[in-house]
Chains A and B, each alone.
Chain A
Amino acid sequence: MRFPRFFTKKRGHRRTDSHAWGSFAEGFFYALLVGAGVVFGLLLVTGAVSYAPADPDSVVLQRGYEWWMWLLTLLIPLALLAFGGSGLIRVVRTWGKSQEHRAAAWRTVIPEGFADASPAVAGHPGVPSCDNLENSPGIVLRYRLPLESPENWTLVGFGLFALLWNAVVVVLAVGVGADLIGGTTDWLLIGLLVPFVAVGVGGVVLFVRAVILSTSVGPTHVEISDHPLVPGMSYDVRLGQGGAHLFRSIDLGLELEETATFRQGTDTRTQRLVVRRVPVSCWQRVQPVPGGSFEARVAVTIPADAMHSFSSENNAVQWRIVVRALPDRWPEFTRVFPVVVLPVKAVVKTSPSEAVEALE
């Protein structure tokens, strides 16, 4: 038996130390949490039991708290017990099992020596579900694709910031006002209030600007003739762009984006990278019909060698239809409509017996 080494060099992305020691340390940590939960819980419960000094032989049960106070008091020990207990169960269940065994265990129960060689999941394993993309019928074509616009999240972010910051400003302003009414002047508080007000006004201006930007250019609609998409196939796509202003250009294209989620220290970060762009159509100097919208219908062909859509816990490969428009007097905006691309159809060329014979 080897003793654990606490300082070792990490080699690549694979673990090089003993799995048994790692699992033991993990189990010990969760056992400590359970122990802490039990001790804290017992201390809290027994703290409500006392005795009468006049009669030391008898114990007096004191109900010091209301029921909700008990609940609140026992929240921390219960959380420790739940977290530690679930962790311990997980460690015990995975003890001595390989990475593959653990990954396979959740999927199916495998009899010894019997390969689960049939297609594992009906359909396409690893391909994300497209239910959310197909629940809205189009006006002209079969489906209306949902919008995934980063601008909407920017708008929400600006709005939340402006709201929360100005709430702090109001609290400070009320304090300063109360002082002034009371005849005292707290110059430190007033000095602090000035930059806070400036940032608060800036936040409101940014929010109002984002609202005007998102509403003035009008909505973008994309409809598609079929979904999910298959490499090598063409699909009708209908674009509708609302707005009363002139657009210098409107581009419609396909993009393939990779997404990787990774941990950096205690932070979890996500990186996105567009690795393929397929231009579909571009319109110059577009003037939507007053009270209506600009309408166009184009054919979109998925490249025959396209990677299919893929999604796992920390990684994704996603196709999307992207509309980039440059209004005459407003900044450029981008609107994204995710789609799902299936893998190319499987062609089984050999039977299992032929495959085994090929080895002999």
Chain B
Amino acid sequence: MNAADAPHGDDHIPANTTQPFPRIELRFGRPGRGYDPGEWVTVEYCIEGLNGERPRALERSALWYTEGKGEEDIGVHSFERFATVETIDRVVPEGTFAIQLPTSPLSYEGVIVKIRWCIRLRIFFESGRDHVSEHVFSVGRVPPSILP
């Protein structure tokens, strides 16, 4: 696992938790994390710190979401859910997958509207809690907007 990729990941841990949460390291096939529309994105991940706790399900998704002044919108491009013992064993604690990007929307760094692409891995545990890890990448080469 490329340690240089790890800081880009964003693990969302509920503020009121006391139980340890796993750490998900994810590596993109392209170090710069920049892709063109229509390209294939390959991802390799490794889940550490499960401490013997068995996941109930794992969800892998590629999606875009908006940021900025407006309410958040989300568009899921690819979604997989693994919820049976056989399938979970294939994808936990490590796995690889590839998705082909659509032609749009492209990543965009606007002033009040921003569009970001990410890979999300979400683990559901038998205890009922869940843990999500988000890893942003960019699609296209649209320059940031600057107020005229």
Which A residues lie at the B interface, using CB under 8 A?
A: 2, 5, 8, 11, 13-14, 16-18, 20, 98-101, 103-104, 107, 110, 112-121, 123-127, 256, 258-263, 271, 273-277, 305-308, 310, 312-317, 342-352, 354-356, 358-359
Q: Distance in Å from the Cβ of A318 to the closest Cβ of chain B?
A: 10
Complex Cα spacing A279 to B41, Å: 38
* Interface pair A16/B76, CB less than 8 Å apart: no
* Interface pair A315/B73, CB less than 8 Å apart: yes
Query: Is the CB of B24 closer than 8 A to any CB of chain A?
Result: no
Complex Cα spacing A274 to B113, Å: 11
* Interface pair A110/B79, CB less than 8 Å apart: yes
* Interface pair B70/A119, CB less than 8 Å apart: no
Complex Cα spacing A103 to B120, Å: 13
Q: Which of B36, B77, B78 contacts A349 (CB 8 A)?
A: B36
Q: Which of B44, B105, B122 contacts A308 (CB 8 A)?
A: B105
State whether A124 and B113 are in contact (beta carbons under 8 Å apart), knowing that A98-B122, A315-B70 are contacts in the complex.
no
Which B residues lie at the A interface, using CB under 8 A?
A: 12, 14-16, 27, 29-30, 36-42, 44, 59-61, 63-64, 66-84, 87, 90-91, 96-106, 108, 110-113, 115, 120, 122, 128, 130, 132, 140-143, 145-148
- Chain A residues with Cβ below 8 Å from B82 are 112-113
A interface majority secondary structure? loop
- Chain A residues with Cβ below 8 Å from B77 are 116, 120, 125
* Interface pair A274/B148, CB less than 8 Å apart: yes
* Interface pair A305/B142, CB less than 8 Å apart: yes
Q: Which of B74, B98, B145 contacts A307 (CB 8 A)?
A: B145
- Chain A residues with Cβ below 8 Å from B80 are 110, 112-115
Complex Cα spacing A8 to B14, Å: 12
State whether A118 and B100 are in contact (beta carbons under 8 Å apart), knowing that A16-B14, A99-B74, A275-B148 are contacts in the complex.
yes
State whether A2 and B16 are in contact (beta carbons under 8 Å apart), knowing that A13-B72, A260-B68, A314-B71 are contacts in the complex.
yes
* Interface pair A356/B96, CB less than 8 Å apart: yes
- 15 cross-chain CB contacts under 8 A: A8-B15, A20-B128, A101-B79, A103-B76, A115-B80, A118-B100, A125-B75, A125-B105, A260-B68, A260-B70, A276-B145, A312-B75, A315-B113, A350-B39, A352-B40
* Interface pair B105/A275, CB less than 8 Å apart: no
Complex Cα spacing A356 to B98, Å: 7
State whether A100 and B148 are in contact (beta carbons under 8 Å apart), knowing that A316-B113, A352-B98 are contacts in the complex.
no
Minimal Cβ-Cβ distance residue in B for A99: B74
Complex Cα spacing A310 to B114, Å: 11
* Interface pair B99/A277, CB less than 8 Å apart: no
* Interface pair A124/B104, CB less than 8 Å apart: yes
* Interface pair B15/A101, CB less than 8 Å apart: no
* Interface pair A317/B113, CB less than 8 Å apart: yes
Known: A16-B16, A100-B76, A260-B68. 12 other contacts (CB 8 A): A17-B14, A100-B61, A113-B87, A115-B78, A273-B111, A275-B146, A305-B141, A312-B73, A314-B72, A316-B113, A343-B105, A346-B39
State whether A343 and B140 are in contact (beta carbons under 8 Å apart), knowing that A104-B79, A125-B102, A260-B113 are contacts in the complex.
yes
- Chain A residues with Cβ below 8 Å from B78 are 115-117, 120
Complex Cα spacing A83 to B84, Å: 36
* Interface pair A346/B38, CB less than 8 Å apart: yes
* Interface pair A116/B75, CB less than 8 Å apart: no
Complex Cα spacing A355 to B101, Å: 13
* Interface pair A103/B70, CB less than 8 Å apart: no
Q: Distance in Å from the Cβ of A193 to the closest Cβ of chain B?
A: 45
Pairs A-B, 10 closest by C-beta atoms: A346-B38, A260-B70, A126-B105, A312-B73, A104-B79, A355-B40, A314-B71, A275-B145, A260-B69, A104-B76
